[in-house]
Amino acid sequence: MSDSEQPEPESPADSEEASANAQLFGVWDIVDIEYADPSTQRYINVTPIAHTMGRHASKQFQKSEISIVERLINRLMQSEDNTGHKQKTMKIVKDAFEIVHERTDENPIQVLVTAVENAAPREETVRLKYGGISVPQAVDVAPQRRVDQALKFLAEGTASGSYKTTTSAAEALAQQLVGASNYNVETYAINQKEERERVAEAAR
């Protein structure tokens, strides 16, 4: 191929458009995702990439720049059975998204974003010591920690819902996502959020 026939380099605008048109798992669109909570929107990033191979680990707060889906996958990997098995955990999330879509007829990424917003606690307690006496004190939760806690609750609910039962991990995760997105207080993630805020309210 001659120099005159070389393809033109892709412009940044073309690259951004291609990224926007890409689909998570080759199925789910990442555009038109709606955010109801402006405080956590900055920390809930949606991208079509579910495996960045740890590129976020070089900086302390760079985890908020990777996809919320990958952050959920990483959280699920912290259980005993899934530790180090990222491909296995990605399949669990992929299957759970298909179940969510079948039950709600909605984009499962939107369901995940709503679930994280709903399960993110706004208050929690810290222990302060006064003269050797430990006293609980209610504090506001930072937006990034709110997202971290929501993902933790969703992962814990999935683990407890599928441990020593006939319920698969994908099914348990789908139940957590749908329940949390509907703010069902019987869902583990919402129950934990309500409990944290109830304890904090008592410590005001």
pLDDT digits (tens, 9 = 90+) for 108-145: 999 999 999 999 999 998 888 887 888 888 899 999 99
**Is residue 63 situated within a structural domain?**
yes
Torsion of the alpha carbons at 169, 170, 175 and 180, rounded to the nearest 10: 100
The model's pTM is: 0.82
CA–CA separation, 188 vs 163, rounded Å? 14
The pair of structure tokens assigned to 193 is: 């959020």
Domain range for 108 is 10-202
CA–CA separation, 204 vs 188, rounded Å? 25
Exposure string for 150-180, b = 16+ CB within 10 A, e = fewer: bbebbbbbbbebbeeeeeebbbbbbbbbbbb
Check residue 14 and give its pLDDT: 46
The answer to whether 86 and 77 have CB atoms below 8 angstroms apart is yes
Q: pLDDT per residue over 42-65, tens digit each?
A: 999 888 877 777 666 656 667 778
CA–CA separation, 46 vs 32, rounded Å? 11
**Is residue 1 situated within a structural domain?**
no
Number of residues assigned to the chain: 204
For the purposes of burial, counting CB atoms within 10 Å of the CB of 33, is it exposed (0-12), middle (13-18) or buried (19 or more)?
A: middle
Q: pLDDT per residue over 172-195, tens digit each?
A: 999 999 999 999 999 999 999 999
**Is residue 108 situated within a structural domain?**
yes
Domains held by the chain: number:
1
**Is residue 153 situated within a structural domain?**
yes
CATH number at residue 55: 1.10.455.10
Check residue 6 and give its pLDDT: 53
Exposure string for 55-81, b = 16+ CB within 10 A, e = fewer: ebeeeeeebbebbbbbbbbbbbbebee
**At residue 128, what is the residue type?**
L
Check residue 56 and give its pLDDT: 62
**Is residue 168 situated within a structural domain?**
yes
The pair of structure tokens assigned to 151 is: 């993902």
